[in-house]
Amino acid sequence: MQGLRKQNQGSGSSVHILKRVTGASALAAMLVLAGCRQDMHDQPKFFPQRGTDFFADGRSARPQVDNTVARGQMHDDAYFYTGMQNGGEGNTFPFPVTLAVLQRGQERFNVYCTPCHSRVGNGQGMIVQRGYMPAATYHSERLRNAPLGHFFNVMTNGYGAMPDYAAQLTPADRWAVVAYIKALQLSQNATQSDIAPGAHPETLSAIAEREGMPASFAGEWEMPRTATSMAGLDDRPVPTTAAPTPPPTAPSATPTATPAPATAKPVPGAAAAPAAGKAPAVATTPAKPAASSAADIAAGKEIYQRNCQVCHQPTLQGMPPMIPALIGVVQRTSAAHVRSNVTNGVPTAKPPMPSFAAKLSSEDIDHLIAFLSSTGSAEKKP
Ligand code: HEC
Ligand code: HEC
């Protein structure tokens, strides 16, 4: 070890000497060369910040020629860059609004504005719900009538408690967001003149009334606010990895011909059996004849599409956390739970789930349950 280190040191210092020699000769060479070229040093020139008597104003640094513009900053279309016209906020778009512009606006809006203004622009974004100063709703009378340039101006310069978004959004993107805000406003307050001839606008409350929804349906929806109300959404029975054993007292509680999920061990009769916690509810429910036919499932699917998909979505994926997914809901909860929800609704939920007692017969609900059971638990990986 010792010998090795000595050797290293030895070779290290010889490298040093070599470096010093080359360094010295390079310096000498530079001095010699510099001696031959004095002209660049001696040429007449201005020193920074020093005056001159060459120009009449005595300044050596010359002002820019009038109307000089830095590269890429030729903002000759003042309206496009400011939203201001004749000293006030303008009310036109500086370029035609196409579907592509609207889509860009929607995408940028959802990135930058929804945290405070929410996806529907009602000012109830998540940050506001967590205590930030309430952001404006775009659906107020004043903002519905505000000129387009106002929205551009707010994004460019900020407004009261709202920070500006000039750094995040290019001017073209800001105009695209303005276009999308207009679309959001129209989505809530369209008049006949705003839409194609032949179509007619309807208010959400009119639709809700016609569909027999609770009166509060068209009101403001609130997200669950507290830990307790969130817990309310989550305290449903969770499917367990172990296949539930069919309760011996309710052997006929298997209404469907659900194909067994490929990953789970097929337990005869277990597919639609309730999770352990729900067993009593099913045991007290009149059991449905076993094995629903493909026709039952198809009928249930149609009933679902007519009545349920507006909220639970055509994909059955719901809109969590407000509206639960229904994929495999029968397996996850129980047929009785589904029947009870459909029959009684959930008036306390926000938004409330309406009761379908007046609309759907008991047989309709059987078909619904058959359809929902057929969505199985295959997609749900517990
Ligand atoms: C960090 C939260 C926040 C974000 C993000 C945000 N805003 Fe705001 N916005 C506010 C608040 C708060 C107000 C109310 C300001 C006030 O009245 O002092 C407001 C007000 C507004 C107003 C109404 C101005 C008026 O005349 O009353 C518009 C328009 C607006 N925002 C547009 C936008 C757009 C467009 C975006 C996305 C580019 C956006 N905001 C992003 C918080 C936000
Ligand atoms: C207006 C919106 C709306 C409509 C329409 C609607 N639901 Fe619901 N549904 C809800 C909401 C909200 C909940 C959550 C209720 C809660 O918090 O307990 C829910 C919950 C349920 C549940 C309980 C899910 C679970 O995981 O416990 C079932 C089952 C259900 N709905 C079935 C249906 C069926 C079937 C239809 C059609 C006949 C339907 N719903 C139509 C809003 C709706």
Close Cβ partners of 36 (under 8 Å, ≥ 6 residues apart): none
Domains of the chain from N-terminus onward: 78-194 (1.10.760.10), 230-374 (1.10.760.10)
pLDDT tens-digit series, residues 77-105? 899 999 999 999 999 999 999 999 999 99
For range 173-201, the mean pLDDT:
91
Q: Which ligand is nearest to the CA of 105?
A: 1
Q: Determine which residue's CA is closest to atom 10 belonging to ligand 2.
A: 353
Ligand 2 pocket list (CB less than 6 A): 213, 233, 236, 307-308, 310-312, 322-324, 326, 329, 333, 337-338, 341-342, 346, 349, 351, 353-354, 356, 368
Q: Which residue has the tokens 């609309």?
A: 359
Give the ligand 2 atom nearest the CA of 217.
Answer: 1
CA of 126 to the centre of ligand 1 (A): 14
Q: What is the pLDDT of residues 195-246, one digit of tens each?
A: 888 888 888 888 888 888 877 777 766 655 444 444 444 444 444 444 444 4
Is the pLDDT confidence value at 254 over 90? no
**Residue 351 alpha carbon, nearest atom of ligand 2:** 12
Mean pLDDT of all residues in the chain? 77
Is-above-0.75 flag for pTM?
no
Find, among 370, 168, 186, the residue nearest to 272 by Cα.
370
Query: d(Cα 233, Cα 231) in Å, to the nearest integer?
Result: 5
In contact, 258 and 373? CB cutoff 8 Å: yes
User: Which residue's C-alpha comes closest to atom 27 of ligand 1?
Assistant: 136
Q: What is the pLDDT of residues 364-379, one digit of tens each?
A: 999 999 999 998 754 4
Minimum CA distance residue for ligand 1 atom 14: 135
- Ligand whose nearest atom lies closest to the CA of 118: 1
> Could you tell me the two tokens for 133?
């100063």
